[in-house]
Amino acid sequence: MQLEKGFAGVQAFLETHRVEDLVRIYLARIEDRASLNAFIEVYAESALERARSLDAQGPEGLPLFGMVLGVKDNIAYKGHPLGASSKILDGFESLYTATCLQRLIDAGALVIGRLNCDEFAMGSANITSYYGPVKNPIDPERVPGGSSGGSAAALAAGLCTVALGTDTGGSIRQPAAFCGVVGMKPSYGRVSRYGLIAYGSSLDQAGPLCQTVEDAALVWRFMAGPDPLDMTSSEGSVIDPAEIESKGPLRIGVLKQVMEMEGMHPEVREAFDAYIQGLQAKGHELVPLDFPYLDVLVPTYYVISTAEASSNLSRFDGVHYGYRSPEAKSLEETYILSRSEGFGAEVKRRIMTGTFVLSVGYYDAYYKKGMQVRRLIQQATDSFFEACDVVLSPTSPNLPFKINDTGKDPIQMYLEDLLTVQANLAGNPAISIPIPSKGKLPVGLQLMAPRMQDHKLFAWAKALG
């Protein structure tokens, strides 16, 4: 069907149909695939109202005319619920729209609903949500990845044209790999964080999940750019990826430690090795890279991210907004009971870990040391691009695992982020694209580029994909 071809298919559909017709098709699909639990809430009335408005206005001057968006439940949308898939924000309604989302709306997109995710974006399987786990549309017995699992599942099931997610340590790229779609994390600061519920402020970035690299580049172009409401956003100009072409063979960096990694799923290794060999056969140069910090990536990431989370989540106290325990009889009980009842087990675990690493007597041993190691990781990552254009790896060392296999060992779940957290710690742009696999489950290939070279990353992903 035309709509399965991404935004190009939508544009072809709208040559003979209305935006309202398009929205009704997506609404019917969402209802038909409700068992996936990808959507927390569907904005049927407001989406149809927006569609009718677009039909009356016409596509002139609206480059994203008719693009139907599903939005992760930690991205603010004015006048609509915002909950980060947590009980503690039950009933909260956003007072403004996130900059990255508003820019897409201004360009002609519309929002069809909010998407399920791991609670406060903490997870790698989309099983920590207050609203229950999301199922992978390729195999509903398996996870879609996390934390943007609802976004990846909705897109893969054809329930929207584009889905928005956030990526703190791989939360766009890993679910994109598990669901066989394209997912992109921009350079840190390239897309405004204003309007995102913060998990790790020095790590978070919003980005698109799409059917094609071309769609991801198009959406990124409108999301990106400086924002006076976000002091961490870059002031640099945004270069249109459509103006960039990948000319000639590329120098492709591959980490020796990844090539020698034990425990990688055989199907992932086979697909990755075959793909690398295919690129060499096309004339691309393979550049082995030494990265001695692979084993400390995950510990460093969790020290820093949990520290930032413990600070960011202190605002959810049962007093200002969201859930308040009905059993509380005093101010102290309001704080204690509301947070105890409102946060899920994984969020509590990370708040406690973050509070510990920031506490007196442990700050130097853990948080300060983590920041020092982060600097080494950034320096090592920068040095890669003196020898190569782009760094390739599998997006995840594993295939999508069964829902029943999750939740037993938190440490094992944290290791799902092994190949994705480097881009967040170093601030580099990275994208996951699906590659051929002999099995029935999808395998993702991750490409990482130098900081603020997002536009080139799209060109390289298109050339290598």
Q: 164, 433, 150: which is closest to 272 by C-alpha?
A: 433
Residue reference for tokens 């490409």 = 447
The residues, ordered by sequence, that sit 6+ positions from 377 with a Cβ below 8 Å of its Cβ are: 293, 296, 297, 300, 422, 425, 426
Task: List, in sequence order, every residue forming a beta bridge with 392; answer none if it has no partner.
Answer: 254, 447
Q: 440, exposed or middle or buried, with CB in 10 Å at 0-12, 13-18, 19+?
A: exposed
Q: 129, 207, 131: which is closest to 164 by C-alpha?
A: 207
Q: Annotated catalytic sites, by residue? A: 72, 147, 171
Question: Taking a C-beta distance cutoff of 8 angstroms, is the pair 325, 334 a contact?
Answer: yes
Q: DSSP labels for 116-163?
A: --SGGG--SSS---TT----BTTBTTB---SSSHHHHHHHHTTS-SEE
Using CA atoms, how far apart are residues 215 and 6, in angstroms rounded to an integer?
A: 7
Secondary element (H or E) of residue 384: helix 369-387
Residue reference for tokens 């990106």 = 224
Q: DSSP labels for 193-232?
A: -TTBPPSSTTT-EEEEEESSHHHHHHHHHHHBS--TT-TT
Question: Taking a C-beta distance cutoff of 8 angstroms, is the pair 333, 325 a contact?
Answer: yes
308, two tokens: 């930032």
Q: What angle do CA 68, 69, 75 make, to 5 degrees?
A: 160
Q: 65, 72, 71: which is closest to 50 by C-alpha?
A: 65
